[in-house]
Amino acid sequence: MYEQVSHSLLNQILDEIKPEIRKRDLRHFYTRLGANFYVIHLLFHHLYGKRDDFKKQMIRLVEVMATRYVQRHVSLKQLDSEREKDHNWFLSQEWVGMALYADGFAENLQGVESRLSYLQELGVNILHVMPIMICPEGASDGGYAVSDFRNVDPGVGTLDDVNTLATSARRRGMLLILDMVLNHLSDEHEWAQRSRAGERKYQDYFYIFDNRDIPDMFEETMPEIFPETSPGNFTWDEQMQKWVMTVFNDYQWDLNYNNPAVFIEMLDNTLFWANQGADILRLDAVAFLWKKIGTTCQNEREAHLILQLMKDCCQVTAPGVLFIAEAIVAPVEITKYFGEDAVIAKECEIAYNATYMALLWDAMATKNTQLLWQGIQSLPTKLDRATWLNYLRCHDDIGLGFDDADIVRAGYQPPAHRQFLVDYFTGRYSDSSARGRPFGVNRKTGDARISGSLSSLVGLEDAIQRNDDAEINRSVKKILLLHSMICSFGGIPLLYYGDEIGTLNDYSFMEDENKAGDNRWMHRPKMDWERAEQRHKRGTPEQHIFDGLKKMIAARKGIPAFADFNNRELIDVENPHLFVFWRTDPFMLLGSVLVVCNFDDSPQYMELSALGNRGIFEHGNLRDIYSGESPRLFKEQLVVPPFHFYWLTDQRPEVGAL
Ligand code: GLC
């Protein structure tokens, strides 16, 4: 019944679509639209069905999809078809990413292109270039306040540069990730400017109110994202004499997805960037897409419906393009951004694994893996055709977003434990050499997050200043240990630029008035290429880290058990300093791999009997795939040196011969 409604609507739409689009070759488009239209209609109707102009908006939606399809370059269309045939392509262990700011890494996009060989040297084959669209010259939240969604910021280049970079990357077998900021835009954007000038049409693109009545109701339940620099969730606009919802900074206006025109415009922008050659789009702040009084205005059901609709539409026009959900929310909420099922209610194929990231930092501080163990055990299983983006550091702060119940199960008290972690990483704790800073401190709730570069957080900055070689070595070991965890867990490891050479905190942001209030800039460095040259000098920390990562990445690519087919099992080895998991080989090619990590600064052992009947030790000949060596065994115990990891496999002759 309902299918018939949707079929007849589709036929009407196709009759009414602009003739200049209709006469183009739309064969593949029609096949995909036919397959997805039922769900597209269902979702669009659910969100906007009560409006008088529903049908008009629906026609416009299809027109946008068709127009962008017509404009899509033939080479991208070919890639779409190839990826449709091999739809699990992104679950392979062969992918390794790096996130970077174009200007911080290499001055601009052309510079990034000229440095692709550096990334290849390391083994990186996915490049995430952080926001490049036009944004205000002053404070712009690191480019996340976009003032023009269709143009590149002149400071980093042009649209041609993006196309050249995408093509050049593709020629080298590399993928390109670009950001799509869906939730908000800069108050310098044309839509905000026209709202200010009094245009009703554009005021409807935002949440704008004459007085504080509704804002006050919203704020009763909305948390503050930047409590120090931008408290509250609304900003008074002098010119309009009205309140605007600004969940992030006061210059970032939240888009109102109750209005279908907003959805259609943002879909159009998304497809525009898909057509610039992006293989993957990072959808920023997706948890915030729907606002409802009486809620936190995060993770609302409609936010998921919007993402499902976005995915379904994108699959019609640019099916080869994947989405990453940037939803830094509670563990049970994050997995929902993959969708409920991979056929009907699919959302993003990839999601930031913020839970794992924060848990790894917990294990670093406590030298204990109880909470890491608990947190991963409690993480809901994700869809088969979805994967994690596993990372240690990024351009944002570290939020301690683990589940309170898990903290309790691990034997700690939630507020006290969180406070300990902030103290530890900001160096206030006596036994800590970390050099982070508190970020987003909320005096009302006591919440705080942490800024700082990976190397400074593990103690390298402190060790270098004190000229302490032993401590330098220990920090390097910690850096490699942490990376081994994101390379073996299952999912795509996403490195952060500069970490591969041990880049320390950059304090120069304090001299820039547009950055001084936001200490996330201390870990958004200008790449020091002279220091990068030290990677060729034996014995330097740069060389140890770079070569260690290079070896690790190469090893990962050769281990089919590290592909992500939900083929991981945690093993309880009854040693709270070790984190151990078992990765089975989904293709039965090279066999299973046992991952063992010691987060403590003293050697640890594990009883081999803990492995039960997993078979790996039966033949006695174990080999660590990373080092190529055999680990130390003492009687029936495996010995794990401080801050050390193993990727163990059974060295049966027939396996070696494969
Ligand atoms: C995302 C970005 C962050 C930004 C926020 C608002 O979380 O990663 O840097 O501040 O969105 O755009």
Which of ligand 1's atoms lies nearest the C-alpha of 394?
8
Distance 284 CA to ligand 1 centre (A): 7
How far is 473 from 486, CA to CA, in rounded Å? Answer: 21
In a domain, 22, yes or no: yes
Q: Which of 550, 573, 608 is the last residue of a domain?
A: 550
Q: Ligand 1 pocket test: which of 391, 396, 451, 514 has the largest number of ligand atoms within 8 Å of its C-beta?
A: 396
Q: What is the mean pLDDT of residues 86-97?
A: 97
**SS3 label, residue 562:** helix
Question: Does 53 share its domain with 193?
Answer: yes
Given a cut of 60, is residue 656 above it in pLDDT?
A: no
Question: Does 636 share its domain with 503?
Answer: no
Q: What is the mean pLDDT of residues 310-328?
A: 98
Question: Does 434 share its domain with 527?
Answer: yes
Whichever domain contains 467, its CATH number is: 3.20.20.80
Given a cut of 80, is residue 120 above it in pLDDT?
A: yes
| Ligand 1: residue whose CA is nearest its atom 9 | 396
User: What are the angstrom distances between the C-alpha of 531 and each of 109, 208, 279, 538?
Assistant: 21, 49, 31, 13
Residue 412 sits at the vertex; the CA angle it makes with 409 and 415, to the nearest 5 degrees, is: 115
Strands 645-650 and 593-598, by their bridges, are: antiparallel
**How high is the pLDDT of residue 655?**
43
| Ligand 1: residue whose CA is nearest its atom 8 | 396
Strands 645-650 and 622-624, by their bridges, are: antiparallel
| Ligand 1: residue whose CA is nearest its atom 4 | 144
Distance 247 CA to ligand 1 centre (A): 11
Contact indicator for 608, 632 with CB cutoff of 8 Å: no
Closest CA to 254 of 303, 321, 184: 184
Distance 616 CA to ligand 1 centre (A): 44
In a domain, 108, yes or no: no
- pLDDT-based confidence at residue 651 (cuts at 50, 70, 90): low
Q: What is the mean pLDDT of residues 141-151?
A: 98
Q: Which of 254, 277, 294 is the last residue of a domain?
A: 254
Q: Ligand 1 pocket test: which of 130, 233, 284, 521 has the largest number of ligand atoms within 8 Å of its C-beta?
A: 284
**What global pTM score does this model have?**
0.97
Question: Does 54 share its domain with 10?
Answer: yes
Instruction: Supply the DSSP string of 371-420, one letter for each residue.
Output: HHHHHHHHSPPPPTT-EEEEES--SS-B-----HHHHHHTT--HHHHHHH
Contact indicator for 234, 246 with CB cutoff of 8 Å: yes
Closest CA to 312 of 121, 39, 107: 39
In a domain, 507, yes or no: yes
From 90-99, 388-397, 628-637, the region with the lowest mean pLDDT: 628-637
Question: Does 531 share its domain with 568?
Answer: no
DSSP state of 348: -
| Ligand 1: residue whose CA is nearest its atom 11 | 285
Q: What is the mean pLDDT of residues 519-527?
A: 98
Closest CA to 373 of 332, 413, 402, 342: 402
How far is 416 from 413, CA to CA, in rounded Å? Answer: 6
Which of ligand 1's atoms lies nearest the C-alpha of 184?
12
Distance 69 CA to ligand 1 centre (A): 30
**SS3 label, residue 479:** helix
Question: Does 542 share its domain with 638?
Answer: no
User: What are the angstrom distances between the C-alpha of 603 and each of 40, 640, 648?
Assistant: 56, 6, 17
In a domain, 414, yes or no: yes
Which of ligand 1's atoms lies nearest the C-alpha of 328?
7
Query: pLDDT tens, 149-170?
Result: 999 999 999 999 999 999 999 9
Q: What is the mean pLDDT of residues 458-482?
A: 98
Contact indicator for 227, 441 with CB cutoff of 8 Å: yes
From 71-75, 115-119, 352-356, 588-592, the region with the lowest mean pLDDT: 588-592
Domain that holds residue 486: 397-550
Which of ligand 1's atoms lies nearest the C-alpha of 520?
9
Query: pLDDT tens, 194-233?
Result: 999 999 999 999 999 999 999 999 999 999 999 999 999 9
How far is 55 from 66, CA to CA, in rounded Å? Answer: 17
How far is 542 from 533, CA to CA, in rounded Å? Answer: 8
Which of ligand 1's atoms lies nearest the C-alpha of 396?
9
- pLDDT-based confidence at residue 16 (cuts at 50, 70, 90): confident
Distance 642 CA to ligand 1 centre (A): 36
Given a cut of 90, is residue 379 above it in pLDDT?
A: yes
**How high is the pLDDT of residue 547?**
98
Cα Rg of the chain, angstroms: 25
User: Residue 596 corresponds to which amino acid?
Assistant: V
Distance 119 CA to ligand 1 centre (A): 25
Which of ligand 1's atoms lies nearest the C-alpha of 395?
9
Given a cut of 80, is residue 2 above it in pLDDT?
A: no
Question: Does 81 share its domain with 204?
Answer: yes
Question: Does 589 share its domain with 512?
Answer: no
Closest CA to 469 of 479, 481, 454, 459: 459
Query: pLDDT tens, 408-449?
Result: 999 999 999 999 999 999 999 988 999 999 999 999 888 999
Given a cut of 70, is residue 324 above it in pLDDT?
A: yes
In a domain, 215, yes or no: yes
| Ligand 1: residue whose CA is nearest its atom 12 | 144
Distance 142 CA to ligand 1 centre (A): 8
Q: Which two tokens stand for residue 236?
A: 């008074």
**SS3 label, residue 99:** strand
- pLDDT-based confidence at residue 477 (cuts at 50, 70, 90): very high
Whichever domain contains 627, its CATH number is: 2.60.40.1180
Instruction: Supply the DSSP string of 167-220, one letter for each residue.
Output: HHHHHTT-EEEEEEE-SEEETTSHHHHHHHTT-HHHHTTB-EESSSHHHHHHHT
Given a cut of 70, is residue 657 above it in pLDDT?
A: no
- pLDDT-based confidence at residue 658 (cuts at 50, 70, 90): very low
Given a cut of 60, is residue 36 above it in pLDDT?
A: yes
Which of ligand 1's atoms lies nearest the C-alpha of 226?
10
**SS3 label, residue 166:** helix
Distance 633 CA to ligand 1 centre (A): 47
Total domains in the chain come to 3
With a pLDDT cut of 90, the percent of the chain lying above it is: 88
From 171-175, 196-200, 339-343, 531-535, the region with the lowest mean pLDDT: 339-343
Q: What is the mean pLDDT of residues 110-133?
A: 98
In a domain, 114, yes or no: no
**How high is the pLDDT of residue 431?**
87
Closest CA to 206 of 222, 216, 194: 194
How far is 483 from 520, CA to CA, in rounded Å? Answer: 21
In a domain, 384, yes or no: no
| Ligand 1: residue whose CA is nearest its atom 7 | 285
Which of ligand 1's atoms lies nearest the C-alpha of 183?
12
Question: Does 618 share its domain with 516?
Answer: no
Cβ < 6 A, ligand 1 pocket: 141-142, 144, 181, 248, 284-285, 326, 395-396
Q: What is the mean pLDDT of residues 339-367?
A: 94
Query: pLDDT tens, 250-275?
Result: 999 999 999 999 999 999 999 999 99
With a pLDDT cut of 70, the percent of the chain lying above it is: 98
Q: Ligand 1 pocket test: which of 128, 133, 144 has the largest number of ligand atoms within 8 Å of its C-beta?
A: 144
Distance 638 CA to ligand 1 centre (A): 43
Closest CA to 98 of 535, 393, 399, 528: 393
Q: What is the mean pLDDT of residues 314-326?
A: 98
Mean of the per-residue pLDDT values for the chain?
95
| Ligand 1: residue whose CA is nearest its atom 10 | 141
Query: pLDDT tens, 613-635?
Result: 776 666 567 899 999 999 988 88
**How high is the pLDDT of residue 652?**
59
Distance 531 CA to ligand 1 centre (A): 29
Q: What is the mean pLDDT of residues 562-583?
A: 96
Question: Does 479 share its domain with 543?
Answer: yes
Question: Does 577 share its domain with 622?
Answer: yes
**How high is the pLDDT of residue 1?**
52
Given a cut of 50, is residue 550 above it in pLDDT?
A: yes
Which of the residues are catalytic? 284, 326
Q: Ligand 1 pocket test: which of 130, 135, 140, 141 has the largest number of ligand atoms within 8 Å of its C-beta?
A: 141
Q: Which of 523, 550, 577 is the last residue of a domain?
A: 550
Whichever domain contains 223, its CATH number is: 3.90.400.10
Question: Does 525 share its domain with 413?
Answer: yes
